[in-house]
Amino acid sequence: MLLLPPAGKNQESTATMFSIPRAPITVPSMNPWETHALAHNFPNDIPPGADKTQTTNPRFQPRQDPIIYPGLYAPSGIDVMSVLFSVFSRPNPQVELGPVDCSAALTVSNLDLPGSPIIYANEAFSQLTGYAVKEVVGKGPRFLQSPQSLCPSPGLPIDQHSDAIQRLDQAVASRNEIQLYITNYKKNGQRFTNLLSMIPIRLPGDETQYAVGFHVARD
């Protein structure tokens, strides 16, 4: 037989006895990278608060967002989000990159300095080539064209007449986009085929000409 507690104070004390305490819920705030990412408007996007009934550019075709947000953090002073946004919002792209995120092997070079030294490389590039990031920053990208353990001079690639090297040099000189297969070498001397996409960009409020390199091993 079920015995019910008497009404009144005893009932209130019984309810209190069996109540389950709940921890306060804390909603984490977004960091500046996430705020920047969510606030960005791609070309032809409708700004917040705008009249969505207005006619938009008929050339706009909905497609998958090319920026995948996980892995946005950059321990260096390089604003990788601005770099990626500049790449994917550039006018008249000549190279199709497809979906890319910050886990791709990525380098940024300063084309206005002699030798176009690398000013940023991410951990994915380090894992691809075997070079630590600190070993790469400050070097010209040409060091990948020869095995440094055998031929440590970055200015002397093993095959100076390689058609790919000549095409890449011409694209850098003319500040044109290019995507090509090129023979590169890892730190241990291992040879690999690099599908390299080189995209020249300028960042907002910065007149410096940069080159963003996306690197993919094909063997």
pLDDT tens, 16-28? 555 556 656 555 6
Q: Which residues of the chain have pLDDT under 50?
A: 43, 55-74, 160-161
> What is the rounded CA–CA span in Å between residue 76 and residue 178?
26
pLDDT of residue 69: 41
Question: 0.85 cut: is pTM over it?
Answer: no
Beta-strand relationship, 67-68 and 100-101: parallel
Residues contacting 151, CB < 8 A, separation 6+? 158
> What is the rounded CA–CA span in Å between residue 159 and residue 146?
8
Sign of CA dihedral 127, 129, 131, 137: negative
Residue 75 one-letter amino acid: P
CB 154 within 8 A of CB 139: yes
pLDDT of residue 47: 56
pLDDT of residue 102: 64
pLDDT of residue 129: 95
DSSP state of 145: G
> What is the rounded CA–CA span in Å between residue 177 and residue 92?
10
pLDDT of residue 216: 93
Please report where in the chains the tokens 């002073």 appear, as a residue. Answer: 77
The token pair at 79 is 């604003």
